[in-house]
A and B are shown apart, each in its own frame.
Chain A
Amino acid sequence: MATVTNWIDHLSAEEVVGAVYPGAGSMETTLVIIGVVLWLGWHVLTAKSESDELDRLSRKRHGPNDHKSNVTEW
């Protein structure tokens, strides 16, 4: 996985390769796909949990001042 194993060799080469992260030149597209899946997955998961929370709270039909009973210290 290591792109660089010896800095002296790397920096003294006739043309210094700039990309030094692990998997340079081979992993980028895979990483982007993983990133996009994580991003979209986050939306799916949080949309569901938010929807559940809103439904639950909505059913309780609290009044506009009920939240004040939850405030214990002013």
Chain B
Amino acid sequence: MTDQLGALTTIFTEFYYWVTVVLMFLIHVGFCMYEVGASRYKHHQHTLMKNTMLIPLVTVTWFFFGWWIYWAFPTGPGIAPSIMNESTALITDESTFSAKWYLANTEYMAINLGDHISGVFWAAFLLFSWTAASIVSGAIIERITTFAFGILAIAIGSVFWTIDAAWGWHFDGWMLKILGYHDAYASGVIHAIAGGFALGVLCVLGPRIGKFSSSGEPRNIGPRNPWLVTVGLFLIYTGFWGFYAACNIPIFDLGPEYGMEGVTYWTATNIYVTPTTLSGITFNFLMSLSGGLLAGYWIAKGDPFWTYSSGLAGVICASAGNDLYHPIQAMIIGMIGVVIAYKLHYWVERKFKIDDAVGAVAVHGYAGFVGLVICGFVLNGYPSSGYSVGAMWDGTTYASINPLGQFLGAIIMFGVLGMLPGYVIAKVLHGMGKLRIPRDVEIAGLDYEMMESAKKDERAVSSATR
């Protein structure tokens, strides 16, 4: 970097993404606290470690191949040509944003004085990966093996969500071009897919012992430490600010990017390189959070567990279009999402005997799905991409945002890339006898041996007088 203004822009962008990563770390802290608070005493430590160990597992696999997938798969492959090289193959050529530069053994996947962005951008996406895996983690507590969860976490965190991001988030993604898919803050790209994946796993895993009576009536297994759940959810809210900021590009000149001669237009953009503002999405984040809380408090009759979760569901539901909505639209959409997610949770639980321990499928999956569909109606006709204003490979443009495209996109996210792989992988693990812990262990408690081995010392300490 040799000119000061260019250096400032670059280092500002580098620092911006770095801050989002730090903020998003709180999402994971929150998920860990939330899960421990929701689990029973005899499973606490294993529950915590299960969620904690997804951090290194998803991180190293994201380094080895997850990040490469994001840059290689926008074309499908074979579904729509890239605007960079006009090929429908995997993008591994010499293009500027080719996956070739993000193989784990390239010089850009390390400290490089000529590249201030790759590492922080990689990390921002990695934190999204943790979130995707952590959403699944909560639903399946107290009965899955750590081994099986590790495999599932890698599958959702470093494979399937990154494929959906390549398809529906990347500026060159085929879903934007053909479906007009729009999902600015990841209603589907993170939440619907992770919720769907969790549901697929739950179908195979089965409920916790005691969750359903002999006649099939569901029993409530409430959080054992509501205060830890509360703090956990507040931390997830806090980290969500970083999540929103990380979905933006902080400073970008759209004039030359769109090929507009003589036009200079510096702005923040969303992930699709269409203009928005950090200020505007702050309105919408808070209003959709409020809508979710208001609706959740009402429908759950003041139940704290569901009210907090509903705040999250409100944001998740409005996220697809929160780059463009009016704040009151965001609030109403958040409310609608919460009511549907809450009702659907209990209907699915009763009808299909699905034991989603923390309501993750509802809060993330159903609310995300509904948010995508609503976005198709409210933003109907808006361009789906910054590049839709110009001619593409065959003279056509990216499809505009539309209800059918968003509905199909929601099915792809929740069903095709979420529920289906979750179900299939869980089936394979189940076939290997590695999915679920033995019945006697579930009854005794996963932490039994750890507690027993510490008992002697604990007893001595608790009765010590000096």
**Chain A: residues with CB nearer than 8 A to chain B?**
16-21, 24-25, 28-29, 31-32, 35-36, 39, 43, 46-47, 50-51, 53-64, 66-67, 69-73
Contacts and interface: CB of A to CB of B under 8 A. Distances in A.
B441 A50 contact: no
Contact of A57 (B61, B105, B440): B440
B448 A62 contact: yes
A66 B448 contact: yes
B113 A20 contact: yes
Interface in B76-116: 104-107, 110-115
B14 to A, nearest CB: 14
- Please report whether the interface of chain A is mostly helix, strand, loop or mixed according to DSSP: helix
A63 B443 contact: yes
Nearest to A63: B443
Given A39-B64, A58-B440, A62-B444, A18 B145 contact: no
Contacts of A54: 145, 437-438, 441
B160 to A, nearest CB: 19
Contacts of B301: none
Given A28-B106, A51-B147, A61-B440, 13 more contacts: A18-B113, A19-B113, A28-B107, A29-B105, A46-B146, A46-B147, A57-B448, A61-B444, A64-B444, A67-B447, A70-B452, A70-B454, A71-B451
B444 A35 contact: no
B257 interface: no
Contacts of B146: 46, 50
B145 A67 contact: no
Nearest to A19: B107
Contacts of B455: 69-70, 72
B110 A21 contact: yes
Contacts of B454: 70
Nearest to B453: A70
Contacts of A57: 438, 440-441, 444, 448-449
B277 to A, nearest CB: 33
Nearest to B439: A58
A53 B60 contact: no
7 contacts: A19-B112, A25-B107, A54-B437, A54-B438, A54-B441, A61-B440, A66-B444
Contacts of A53: 449
A2 to B, nearest CB: 14
B414 to A, nearest CB: 28
Contacts of A50: 145-147
Contacts of A61: 440, 444
Contact of A70 (B107, B112, B448): B448
Contacts of B111: 19-21
